[in-house]
Every structure is written in structure tokens, then in C-alpha cells.
């Protein structure tokens, strides 16, 4: 079983592998008892959104972690991967700007270079 830090690092690496953009990690441990980290990444197309989410799932499964759920794969504008203590959102830029999860979940985020 991976620690939250190991799981987060593996997710970020998987997103970077196939050109996820504007990857942000939010520490939500003080804000929610449901999960400790939120990872947000942008994708430029429906195809890339789905590919990024699929790649995260495959990478984490290779490390022995199974997602609890994957939502939004049909539409492809926003896919959520629930990995228990870490939740991953892959969004197209317009959807990401509209929902602005970084602001909603606070200022304690650490932007990652894409």
C-alpha cells in the first residue's frame, strides 16, 4: 500500500508522462475527511482527457492501487479518478476555469510546472 505522498508522486508522474498540463496538487487534509490530496490537470481534447485518466489508473494499478471509481469518461470534458485518499481531476481548460477547484479548495496549493 502506497503512502499519500507516494501515490501523489505516481499520479503526477503518470500525468506528466503523456503531457498533462498545469498539474496542481492541493493538500485537502485539513478541509475534508474524505481525501487528503486533490490532483488537478488540464488536457487539450476529449481524447487527451480520457487518455490521461486511463494512464493514471494503469500506473496506479501497476503499483497495487485500485481506483474506487472513475467518473466522466463518456463526455471526456472532465474525468474524476477516485483513489481513496487522493482524488484526480482531469479537465479541459474551459471546464477547469468554470469550476475553479483551486479557489474552491483554498490557497494551500502547490502549482507544478507542466
Residue 22 lies in a domain: yes
Domain count, the chain: 1
**What is the percentage of the chain residues whose pLDDT exceeds 90?**
77
Average pLDDT over residues 86-97: 96
Query: What per-residue confidence (pLDDT) applies to 38?
Result: 95
In the predicted structure, residue 78 carries a pLDDT above the cut 60: yes
In the predicted structure, residue 94 carries a pLDDT above the cut 90: yes
Task: Give the predicted TM-score (pTM) of the model.
Answer: 0.88
Which strand (E) or helix (H) includes residue 29?
none
Query: What per-residue confidence (pLDDT) applies to 109?
Result: 45
Cβ contact 56:81 at 8 Å? yes
CATH number assigned to the domain comprising residue 90: 3.30.460.10
Tell me the H-state helices in the chain: 4-17, 46-62, 93-99, 101-104
Average pLDDT over residues 75-100: 94
Amino acid at each position: 500500500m502506497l503512502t499519500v505522498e507516494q501515490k501523489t508522486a505516481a499520479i503526477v508522474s503518470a500525468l506528466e508522462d503523456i503531457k498533462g498540463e498545469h498539474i496542481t496538487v492541493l493538500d485537502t487534509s485539513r478541509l475534508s475527511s474524505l481525501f487528503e490530496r486533490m490532483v488537478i490537470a488540464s488536457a487539450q481534447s476529449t481524447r487527451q482527457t480520457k487518455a490521461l485518466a486511463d494512464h493514471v489508473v494503469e500506473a496506479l494499478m501497476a503499483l497495487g492501487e485500485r481506483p474506487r471509481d472513475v467518473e466522466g469518461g463518456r463526455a471526456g470534458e472532465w474525468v474524476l479518478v477516485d483513489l481513496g485518499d487522493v482524488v484526480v481531476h482531469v479537465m479541459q481548460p474551459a471546464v477547469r476555469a468554470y469550476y475553479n477547484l483551486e479557489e474552491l479548495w483554498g490557497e494551500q496549493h502547490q502549482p507544478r510546472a507542466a
